[in-house]
Amino acid sequence: MKPAPLFETAVIAGVGLIGGSVAHGLRGRFLARRVIGYDANSDALRTAEALGAIDEARATPGPWLNGADLVVLAAPVKALPKLAADLAPHLNPKALVTDVGSVKGPVADALAQLGVRNFVPGHPMAGSERGGVEHASAALLENAIWVLTPTDDTPLPALSRARTLVEHLGAAPVVMPPDAHDHLVATISHLPYLASLALTHMVARDERLSLLAAGGFRDLTRVASGDPRMSRDMVVENKEALRAALVRFRRELERLEADLDAPEELLAAAHEGKRTRDSLPVVKRSLLPPKFDLVVAVPDRPNQIGAVTQALGAAGVNIKDIEVLAIREEGGAIRLGLESVEDVASARTLLEGLGFETRGR
Ligand SMILES: NC(=O)c1ccc[n+]([C@@H]2O[C@H](COP(=O)([O-])OP(=O)(O)OC[C@H]3O[C@@H](n4cnc5c(N)ncnc54)[C@H](O)[C@@H]3O)[C@@H](O)[C@H]2O)c1
Ligand SMILES: O=C(O)C(=O)C[C@]1(C(=O)O)C=C[C@@H](O)C=C1
């Protein structure tokens, strides 16, 4: 018996960096039988299909959406309310609907007004300055904190399904109200973005400054390379919380300026900064490159994992790493970390010959 996936049909609306990463995770970990991509941009859909992120592409909303039991809204924050309004008339009332937007208050309000049921606002705390499905990867979401921000309208079973989805994608759900989330990300994500703009503006008109810019400057300003319009919209959507964070930031800068004449105070601030930075949790991802991974569906029969490892051992394929991805009552999947792309190809042929279903990344 094949393992039953968590979802029959998942729709990813906005197949870019994050939507594409969710799609890869759903397909790669056998969490959905079918993944449909919906996007305003036909190039994004074509690329998503070519990269194996989605099984099927759709460019217009319609009755086909009624077959989805999971809908993930993954367009830029500013586009989310209109996207939800376009899809809402066709959604199955039983579908779990979630989003991945960087600001939660506005989208939570918009979906409440639309009366979308089973909506659980969400935000994976992982990403990159490089957008687009071509940069998407299931590994991006692995071990990431993924905030879920239920509202008074969110049914508890929907929250529980959203938690299960996040966990099966390999991330760690953290639940809090939308406004608490928006205040926290103002400080740890949106303020750093504005700070990166301020720093880059200071070197923009002086070639000598950019010539000398080394690792420190690059580390501090990486997020300035993100999509300008999307980043602008993200910070504007959260401007009230961001203003409060800016007030505190200015105060911090003024204190540090004053401490230039009080070296002991400055040393204490430097120690505190080092302690805080050094104790930030490190997000552990797979040590092996994802291209050496093979995910194998494990049916609900005795000794199936043993059958996989024995077959590979007998064929001389070395398993460097093994991870149980989603073992439920009906079976699940295991991720094998192998040594080379050639090993992935031979393991795939061997295991498929034995009747196992496999997915590479
Ligand atoms: N980039 C990050 O680091 C990051 C991290 C966490 C969350 N997010 C959030 O994820 C969401 C997507 O960001 P991304 O980085 O994946 O962006 P992206 O630009 O890579 O992808 C966005 C996709 O949405 C599509 N799109 C835009 N408007 C649409 C519409 N009206 N209808 C359908 N499709 C539409 C685009 O064509 C594109 O394919 C945003 O809400 C962002 O706030 C981003
Ligand atoms: O570029 C990265 O590494 C990110 O994780 C991007 C980042 C962030 O500020 O940390 C940016 C916006 C998202 O909402 C979440 C994450």
Mean pLDDT, consecutive 10-residue segments, the chain of 361 residues? 84 98 96 97 98 98 98 98 98 98 97 95 97 96 97 96 97 98 98 98 94 95 97 98 98 98 98 96 64 86 90 92 71 87 93 91 63
User: Which ligand lies nearest to the CA atom of residue 181 in the structure?
Assistant: 2
Testing ligand 1's pocket by substitution, the residue of 102, 140, 233, 238 carrying the most ligand atoms inside 8 A of its CB is 102
CA of 217 to the centre of ligand 2 (A): 18
CA of 136 to the centre of ligand 2 (A): 14
CA 300/CA 354 separation, integer angstroms: 15
355: left (phi over 0), alpha (psi -120 to 50) or beta: left
User: Which ligand lies nearest to the CA atom of residue 237 in the structure?
Assistant: 1
pLDDT at site 333: 87
Which residue is closest in CA terms to ligand 2's atom 1? 128
CA 17/CA 240 separation, integer angstroms: 27
Go through the domains of the chain in sequence order and give each one's CATH number. Answer: 7-176 (3.40.50.720), 181-278 (1.10.3660.10), 290-360 (3.30.70.260)
The dihedral built from the CA positions of residue 296, 302, 305 and 308, taken in this order, carries a sign that is negative
- Angle, alpha carbons 193-194-198 (nearest 5°): 120
Ligand 2 pocket, residue 126 CB under 6 Å = yes
CA of 310 to the centre of ligand 2 (A): 41
Closest CA to 68 of 24, 32, 41: 32
CA of 79 to the centre of ligand 1 (A): 9
Ligand 1 pocket, residue 234 CB under 6 Å = yes
pLDDT at site 332: 81
pLDDT at site 74: 98
pTM of the entire predicted model: 0.89
pLDDT at site 285: 62
pLDDT at site 216: 95
Closest CA to 124 of 136, 113, 115, 112: 136
CA of 198 to the centre of ligand 2 (A): 18
CA of 304 to the centre of ligand 2 (A): 39
Residue 16 CA, closest ligand 1 atom number = 21
pLDDT at site 36: 98
Which residue is closest in CA terms to ligand 2's atom 7? 127
Angle between helices 239-259 and 228-237 (to 10 degrees): 90
Ligand 1 pocket, residue 18 CB under 6 Å = yes
pLDDT at site 171: 97
SS3 136: coil
pLDDT at site 211: 94
Q: ipTM for the complex?
A: 0.99
